[in-house]
C-alpha cells in the first residue's frame, strides 16, 4: 500500500517572491508529483513558478520547471512533474493582485 504526500507550499499568499519549499527528505521517494495552483475568487492577475535546485537553501537562481499564469477567478491549474529532484519550490514571481493563490503538492510515496 502506498502512502501519499499532500502538503501546501503556498497558503493564500499575494506578495511577489513569497515561496514554499520542500526538500529531499520529503520528496526522495516520489517519482511523479502533482501540483495544484488555485487562484481565489477575487484575484485578477499574477504568476507562480515551480522551480528546482540542488538544496532547499540554495541561494542562487533556481531552474524553472513550470510557469502558471493567472487566467480567471476561482481557477485551478494542474501541473504534473516527473523526475528526480533534491528540492522543489513554488514561488510567486508576479504579485497576485486583488486576491490570493494557494499551491498544493501531492505525490505517491513508494
What is d(CA 32, CA 15) in angstroms, rounded to the nearest whole number?
28
Encode pLDDT of 54-95 as tens digits: 999 999 999 999 999 999 999 999 999 998 899 999 999 999
Instruction: Report pLDDT for 31.
Output: 77
Q: Which helix (H) or strand (E) holds 90?
A: strand 87-97
Domain tally, the chain: 1
Kindly report whether the global pTM for this prediction surpasses the value 0.85. yes
Instruction: Find the domain containing 77 and state its range.
Output: 3-109
What is d(CA 41, CA 39) in angstroms, rounded to the nearest whole number?
7
Question: What CATH code is carried by the domain that includes residue 24?
Answer: 2.60.120.230
Amino acid at each position: 500500500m502506498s502512502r501519499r504526500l499532500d502538503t501546501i507550499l503556498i497558503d493564500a499568499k499575494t506578495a511577489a517572491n513569497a515561496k514554499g519549499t520542500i526538500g529531499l527528505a520529503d520528496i526522495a521517494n516520489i517519482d511523479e508529483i502533482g501540483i495544484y495552483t488555485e487562484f481565489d475568487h477575487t484575484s485578477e492577475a499574477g504568476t507562480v513558478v515551480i522551480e528546482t535546485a540542488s538544496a532547499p537553501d540554495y541561494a542562487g537562481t533556481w531552474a524553472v520547471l513550470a510557469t502558471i499564469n493567472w487566467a480567471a477567478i476561482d481557477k485551478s491549474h494542474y501541473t504534473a512533474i516527473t523526475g528526480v529532484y533534491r528540492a522543489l519550490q513554488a514561488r510567486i514571481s508576479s504579485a497576485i493582485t486583488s486576491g490570493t493563490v494557494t499551491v498544493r503538492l501531492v505525490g505517491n510515496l513508494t
